[in-house]
Amino acid sequence: MSLRSESTRPGPAAPATISIQAWSVLFASTLAFLVCFVVWMMFGVLGIRLRDELGLNSTEFGLLTATPVLTGAVMRLPLGAWTDRFGGRIVMTLLLLVCAIPVFIVSFANQLWQFLVIGLFLGCVGASFAVGTPYVARFFPPERRGFAMGFFGAGTVGAAVNLFVTPVLLADFGWRFVPRVYAIALLITALIFWFASAPDPGVGKSQGSWADSFKVLGDPRVWRLCQYYSITFGGFTALSLWIPQYLKAEYGMSIVMAAAFAAGFSLPGSVLRAVGGILSDKLGAHSVTWWGLWVAWVCLFLLSYPSTDFVIHTIDGPVTLHLAVPIAGFVALTFVLGAVFAFGMASTFKYVADFYPTNMGVVTGIVGLAGGLGGFLLPILFGALLDVFRVRSTCFMLLYGIVWVSLILLYLSEVQHTPVLEKRAA
């Protein structure tokens, strides 16, 4: 009797197979996003040369680097909705082709206002995230979507690629050569993506009118996800733009050396995003988000402390104590910070896949908009704080305060209700 009972008991479900087509879509989409991210972060390195050439102050430099991020954020919402309606394959291909035009035009700019105007148009490449995330997810079973979206999100490694490639092009051929190369790269990527991708299986499944698609804004969970992503992605984007010039000014590095060391932040913040997706699949999106923010809080506290000299009056006379973050410590702390930001970015979209499987494009656009706005505003605030207080580590002080407030809000809104959220996400 016992043996019969055991033999008839259903065993664990077999893992869903992933088709070759799904892998092809994933790799093609990740490549497209990587190239877009390189272009989107271009002014983070290019801007150092332009700062000297145009005589910009810190606030103007922050505005120059952040302007493309603005349109990359704003356009995520309509592009996410269009992806639900028309499919990721069509929208991504058109985005790559159209954005090659303003990228090429950058090479002819001579004044700050021209860079700002053109930057608004080329910044649309940053909205590619809202296209690729729902497009890729629809080719994978629910239990593997965290991995798929995390792998696609690892295309943010383009920030690190920018830190390696742009300084070399800048030194060998001049800054005007850089946007021309990247414009050609966008055209070639569009061609590769079209032939390696497949028709979007989610086309036509969006129900109701355009207005109905945005009714999800009334769901408080969406605003919590916006909060998480504005910290993780917004902080990652802002620091990817800011750290190269920070290293140049604080540690006296050349542009090439500063960009190489800055990759210690951007590289883990990109590559480990896929790991964050896997952890979110196994441990739950809430756990990864919660503990990741705590680690970020510790790192930012240490990075916030400015270089300081203490004079201690002893019985033998004054003793000077110098406190500063050495370059090795800076790289180590930013490495860890980039990693936990990557985990947080992946866990946020694991939430999206679990809560909103039928209108992922719209929700991805909304959440991505919040993250992009964070990436736009923070570099400007970094520059303004530096101009006012004349302390370089104020950028980390600001992020420390934001993460601290976010942890409090996260505890009040979600930690006390974790069982309910995890049950919904299961």
Model confidence over 326-339: pLDDT tens digits?
A: 999 999 999 999 89
CB 353 within 8 A of CB 146: yes
- Homologous superfamily (CATH) of 20-202+216-425 is MFS general substrate transporter like domains (1.20.1250.20)
Does the structure show a pLDDT above 80 at 7?
no
What average pLDDT does range 131-146 have in this prediction?
85
Alpha carbons 388 and 394: distance in angstroms, whole number: 10
pLDDT greater than 70 at residue 207: no
Comparison of pLDDT for 30 and 14, the residue scoring more: 30
Mean pLDDT, range 224-240, rounded to an integer: 85
- Cα–Cα distance measured from residue 245 to residue 142, given in angstroms and rounded to the nearest whole number: 42
Amino acid at position 384, single letter: A
pLDDT at 16 over 80: no
Determine the pLDDT at residue 417.
57
Q: Give percent of the chain with pLDDT exceeding 90.
A: 27
**pLDDT tier at 15, thresholds 50, 70, 90:** low
Helix (H, G, I), strand (E, B) or coil at 60: helix
- Name the residue with tokens 């190239």: 35
Helices 58-74 and 360-389 cross at an angle (nearest 10°) of 170
Which amino acid type is present at position 393? S
Residue with the two structure tokens 């989409």: 29
**Higher pLDDT, residue 380 or 191:** 191
pLDDT of residue 236: 86
Which pTM does this prediction carry? Answer: 0.70
pLDDT above 90: residue 4:
no
26-30, 228-232, 394-398: range with lowest mean pLDDT: 228-232
As a whole number, the mean pLDDT across the chain is: 83
Say which residue, 392 or 210, is predicted with more confidence: 392
Is residue 213 very low, low, confident or very high in pLDDT (cuts 50, 70, 90)? low
The pLDDT value recorded for residue 337 is: 94
In whole angstroms, give the CA distance from residue 244 to residue 159.
11
The helix-helix angle for 327-355 and 285-304 (nearest 10°) equals: 150
Supply the pLDDT for residue 212: 63
Tell me the domain boundaries of the chain: 20-202+216-425
**24 alpha carbon, distance to own chain's centre:** 23
pLDDT value at position 200?
Answer: 85
H-helix or E-strand containing 312?
strand 308-314
3-state secondary structure of 254: coil
Smallest CA-to-CA distance from 235 within 373, 41, 60, 131 is with 373
pLDDT at 10: 44
Question: Is residue 6 pLDDT above 60, yes or no?
Answer: no
Q: Which residue has the higher pLDDT, 255 or 26?
A: 26
For 311, phi then psi, to 5°, come to -110, 115
Burial 167-179 (b: 16+ CB within 10 A, else e): bebbeeeebeebb
- Report the distance separating Cα 353 and Cα 344, nearest Å: 14
Cα 194 to Cα 92: distance, rounded to the nearest angstrom: 9
